[in-house]
Structure 1
Amino acid sequence: MNGSSALMAIAHIFFCYILFSSFNKPFGYGAIVAEKSKSHTIPSICSGPETGLRVVHKYGPCSPFGLNRTAATSSQILVQDEHRVHVLNSRSHKRRTGGGKKKGGGRRRTGGGKKKGKEEAVTELDLLNDSIGAANYLVEVGFGTPAKYFNLALDTGSYITWVRCQRCTGSSCPQQHNESLYYPSSSSTSSNAPCYPLCTYTQPYLDHSYAIGFFVADTVSIEHEDEIPGFVFLCSDEQAGDFGKADGILGLGLGSASVDFGSYSLTSMFDNVFCHCLPTSDKSMGYVYFGDKAHEKCPFSGSYTPLLTGSDPSLYFVNLIAITIGQTRVEISSDGSSPRAIIDSGTVITRLPSSVYSALRTEFQRLMSGYPSALPDHSLDTCYNLEGYNDPEIPMVLHFENLDVSLDQAAVTSKGNGRSQVCLAFAEKENEDDLTIIGNHQQQNLNILYNIPDQRVEIGPGSCL
């Protein structure tokens, strides 16, 4: 065989291979080729539960994004956290004073259409939290049939679940689906949601980002084994700004007392009971369980604190009465008005009244007197350089009404501006009438079970190390 013949033979073989391969792929006008959707493969270095909805840290090796936590990202987390705290307080203050929704708040559009110019009066419903915050804890949830999995920010301060999506039909759909988007038209179980309370929704944020979407009813897969048919969630087909790489929000907050959300609320699908454990280490995973599994996996520790009615019906209010650091107990006074403390998985750093924070900081400084001080890290103003030193062990207990909670050691301090620096992981409230917020940093490695029908929160040692 001469060189020319050999070249022609090779070309013929290659052509046949391409032709044969094409038989296994759809083609033709309007055909849609969807990439195979797989859940995130957990690296072997990660430990975690074999069942349940797994919780990972956005900057840990178990994260689907492969991000590295640096001094810059630590500062960014604190900036995003301050923004979320500001928005929570603004929303709470508005509700306490009976004021109208602030300029730039969520609006509903008439008729379920896509025209942005026609807007009705501002709705009273805060369907999305006004700030996603740092979004540093993620869970993986499946949408549609077959299920396509997305990484959502775990948020007990929001009660509507939403996911990035694209609305299209037939030839208007892309030939290759974007794996980060949910397509209602590609799910055999999707349907139009009832237009109550809203058909479409626009959510602006204070940092000038926004999310616009419409409600969809579809099957949602939780824990890779529980399927919820007909669950209603927000399909956000237009966004602008920084949403922390999350594909959306898993809303586990309380609903509005004036609206029966029914299938809009994920917790209501499981008798309004769920529990979570947020991982202590970036190298580990936590979990979320719902309904009977929540009672089984987060067993009753013998004590609980009551859920209280506060200024914002979507938030979990409790009565925090004191904090013990070392051997010093710091009391938190109550003026007898509505409760001012909430538990929020979307806020990172706990915010305390100025007098309480001052006393806590003074005792922390005394216990850390043997370590060299370091520069503040944004909102964390009491920091030390541990280079060449062992990590300190400072016991701390949160005293709620009828419940004492010992914090994990990693929940007392926060590392930033280099891993050798630690700071007291608490901050002072900007205004005395702001909310006292128990952030997710202090919730690490705790089983926190929300029992809404019995109006109580059970908190005990977790097992998500």
Structure 2
Amino acid sequence: MSSKSLLSFVIYGFFLLSPCNSLKDNADEETRAYFHTLKINSLPSTEVCKESSKALNEGSSSLKLVHRFGPCNPHRTSTAPASSFNEILRRDKLRVDSIIQARRSMNLTSSVEHMKSSVPFYGLSRITASDYIVNVGIGTPKKEMPLIFDTGSGLIWTQCKPCKACYPKVPVFDPTKSASFKGLPCSSKLCQSIRKGCSSPKCTYLTAYVDNSSSTGTLATETISFSHLKYDFKNILIGCSDQVSGESHGQSGIMGLNRSPISFASQTANIYDKLFSYCIPSTPGATGHLTFGGKVPNDVRFSPVSKTAPSSDYDIKMTGISVGGRKPLIDASAFKIASTIDSGAVLTRLPPKAYSALRSVFREMMKGYPLLDQDDFLDTCYDFSNYSTVAIPSISVFFEGGVEMDIDVSGIMLQVPGSKVYCLAFAELDDEVSIFGNFQQKTYTVVFDGAKERIGFAPGGCD
């Protein structure tokens, strides 16, 4: 298989991979402790939506989280042909590149300061690569709009009528039919606080991303609602976009959740105290959740947000990685810069020293299986065609504060669809930066506690 073909198939397999089944009957003590003994199955159906069996946090406000290409998304416009995954990989790389650029820029100002210019611009040029969607009610009466949830951006925006250019086949919000929509004039205090030098009649914005996609429109205040709540969130700052560029596969806009003052988490701080969490499901055919407020589960372990992080980002210090129970295989010296915990980046990227050590030990523990020729990107792949069960080593990631996160089995290897080829789901980043991607976060409850400036993890948040 060529390098290019393998890459395409592996990315496609990311969206179809199901959690493998543990078989412990014949496993010895060490295997049970430090290995996942996996049954090699054919790919499951991706056309049946599986609702999570996990109960939601009592007293919280939760939204169902779905994959935009999966059967649980009622607005999906594509079942993700292979060509889409090459594009997703490209966007994932662009997102990673933009994170690196932000980290290298030590004079980076806050998101609000970026808006204070004579040019109607907002954004850190970070592409929204995430493929997980929540349905949010906007307006009075409310209209359900599918929005990508994104911890890497701040502004909440959706496409609006009349459209100069809008995404086809997905909902469009009509502000003229909402009794609560209030467009911001340039003269308003709110606009002046975020748009220095605004001189046009309307308070306009431009959100641009590194993949050349963008959203252009006007800023407004509007009512946001969740379908199962009795109360609404009034006077929330949003972007009403009449012109978008790029592609949509089931989303109408973005729900920004970063640390900036204009994110939904910050605007509802009086209700939820900047506390929210999410759980990304193990497969695109299952549901997860995005939850605001509620009680913090007892089993959540927290790590402090880095003091050196860009003011809008969620960064914590990675202190080590273990493979197959070898602790610590990689120590804190390999991670000179705090790691971004990102909902939008797909794969976890590691500095060269850390990735080399991870790959070396993983290969050593997998030496009984045939290693395929190296691929340019995912370079540790195995052909399991002659096996009904295999044992793969566990991987744990450590963060400052004594936090140990055992990666769920669904986040360790990627399966090539239509085959029995599996690849290690980590990649090298030619930089000192590390990024903890959403593939390794699967099935965990990831808690963002903005008031206490900490991020926590708890296993078993969703299926």
Give how far 1:410 is off. Answer: 0.8
Q: CA deviation at 1:56?
A: 1.0
Is structure 2 residue 176 aligned with structure 1 residue 190? no
3-state SS of 1:90 partner = helix
Q: Secondary structure at the match of 1:77?
A: helix
Which residue, 283, 286, 290 being the options, matches 2:285?
283
Contact 2:146-2:252 at 8 Å conserved across structures: yes
**Letter of the structure 2 residue corresponding to residue 282 of structure 1:** P
1:84 aligns with 2:75: no
Contact 1:128/1:159, CA 8 A, preserved across alignment: no
CA separation of 1:244 and 1:93: change in aligned 2, threshold 3 A = farther
Task: Indicate yes or no: 2:377 matched with 1:360.
Answer: no
Count of residues in Structure 1 that have an aligned counterpart in Structure 2: 387
Structure 1 range deviating more: 144-153 or 367-376: 367-376
Q: 1:262 to 1:417 in 2, by over 3 A?
A: closer
Residues 378, 46 of structure 1: CA spacing in aligned structure 2 closer, same or farther, 3 A cutoff? Answer: farther
The 5-angstrom pairing of residues 3-402 of structure 1 reads 45-48=49-52, 52-64=62-74, 65=76, 67-69=78-80, 71-94=82-105, 96=106, 98=107, 120=118, 126-127=122-123, 130-133=126-129, 135-167=130-162, 180-193=171-184, 194-195=190-191, 196-198=193-195, 199-222=203-226, 224-225=228-229, 226-255=231-260, 260-261=261-262, 265-266=266-267, 268=269, 269-291=271-293, 293=294, 295=295, 298-301=296-299, 303-328=301-326, 329-334=328-333, 339-374=337-372, 379-389=377-387, 390=389, 392-401=391-400, 402=402
Following the alignment from structure 2 to structure 1, what is the Cα–Cα distance between the partners of residues 138 and 120?
30
Residue 39 of structure 1 is matched in structure 2 by none
Check conservation: 2:256, 2:264, Cα contact below 8 A. Answer: no
1:447 has 2:445 as partner: yes
> Sequence identity, in percent?
29
- CA separation of 1:286 and 1:178: change in aligned 2, threshold 3 A: closer
The one of the two structures with greater contact order (alpha-carbon pairs below 8 A, sep at least 6) is 2
Aligned partners of 1:355, 1:392: CA distance in 2, in Å? 26
CA distance in 1 between counterparts of 2:264 and 2:436 reads 28
- Name 2:19's counterpart in structure 1: none
Secondary structure of the residue that 1:188 maps to in structure 2?
coil
Deviations 1:210-236 (A, max 9, x none): 221211211111353252111111112
What SS class does the counterpart of residue 304 from structure 1 fall into?
Answer: strand
TM-score by length of 2: 0.75
* Post-superposition offset of 1:241: 2.0
TM-score (norm 1): 0.75
Q: Give 5+ residue unaligned stretches, structure 1.
A: 1-42, 110-118
CA distance in 2, matches of 1:378, 1:279: 28
Q: CA deviation at 1:283?
A: 2.2
Structure 1 residues 267 and 413: CA distance shift in structure 2, 3 A: farther
Q: Which amino acid aligns with 1:137?
A: Y
For the 8 Å contact 1:213–1:236, the answer to whether it is kept is yes
CA deviation digits over 1:406-457, x for unaligned, max 9?
Answer: 110011112346553221111111223xx31110001100011111112222
SS of residue matched to 2:101: helix
What's the CA shift string for 1:17-45, capped at 9, x where partnerless? Answer: xxxxxxxxxxxxxxxxxxxxxxxxxx874
CA contact (8 A) 2:237 2:262 kept: no
Provide closer, same or farther for how the CA distance between residues 179 and 439 of structure 1 changes in structure 2, counting only shifts above 3 A.
closer
C-alpha spacing 1:150/1:374, structure 2 compared with 1 (3 Å): farther
The 8 Å contact of residues 372 and 385 in structure 1, kept in 2 or not, is answered as: yes
CA shift, 1:162, in A, is: 1.3
Output the CA distance in 2 between the equivalents of 1:68 and 1:311: 37
Report how far residue 253 of structure 1 moved: 0.8
Match of 1:114 in 2: none
Q: Is the 8 A contact 1:167 1:184 kept in 2?
A: no
Alignment CA distance shift 1:99-1:299 (3 Å): closer
CA distance in 2, matches of 1:231, 1:99: 26
Report the counterpart of residue 411 of structure 1 in structure 2: 411
Q: Which residue of 1 aligns with 2:423?
A: 423
The 8 Å contact of residues 301 and 458 in structure 1, kept in 2 or not, is answered as no
Distance 1:440 1:264 in 2: 19
Gaps of 5+ in 2: 1-46, 57-61, 185-189, 196-202
Q: Distance in 1 between matches of 2:115 and 2:438?
A: 31
